[in-house]
Amino acid sequence: MTIKVGDKLPEAQFRVMTADGVQVKTTDDIFKGKKVALFAVPGAYTGTCHKMHLPSIFLNAYAIKDKGVNTIAIVSVNDAFVMNAWKRDTDQRDEATFLADGNAEFTKAIGMDLDASGNGLGIRSKRYSMLVDNGVVKKLNLEAAPGKVEVSGGDTLLGQL
């Protein structure tokens, strides 16, 4: 079942890199009592994700937060080490939390998994953005194709706030 507006996010765990190493964060840790702009990408460092999707988020980060968003989070089916390196290389102003969903547990639980094994990438996430308020999906923007950023970018979500 694919998640939709009005649904509560399921319980899941993410991995994040901290000064003390890899830590587990739950959906409650990330979303409970907060308004979160969540952006999902098929893969860290991949062309569209790295050159189009992330820049659209960071170009609009201040404005998104000015509209009452507490956290900007980026999730991908990658490990915490890759996500940490990607944050280091892209998030110069420390504006986002990078969530590793290495086993696609969260991605599968919300029905956003994508079989990219034909391209040698295995199971990945579909490209989307969502506004989550206290764990409930308020806006959801799913791309028709993983190689495009037409409705899932930071500019689209900003316009919906």
Domains of the chain: 13-160 (3.40.30.10)
Q: Is the dihedral of CA 134, 137, 140, 142 positive or negative?
A: positive
Q: Kindly list the catalytic residues.
A: 49
pLDDT (0 to 100) of residue 34:
98
Question: Where do we find the tokens 């040698």?
Answer: 120
CA angle 141/147/150 to nearest 5° reads 40
Averaged over successive runs of 10 residues, the pLDDT of the chain (161 residues) comes to: 94 95 96 98 85 90 97 97 95 94 96 87 91 98 90 95 95
pLDDT at res. 7: 97
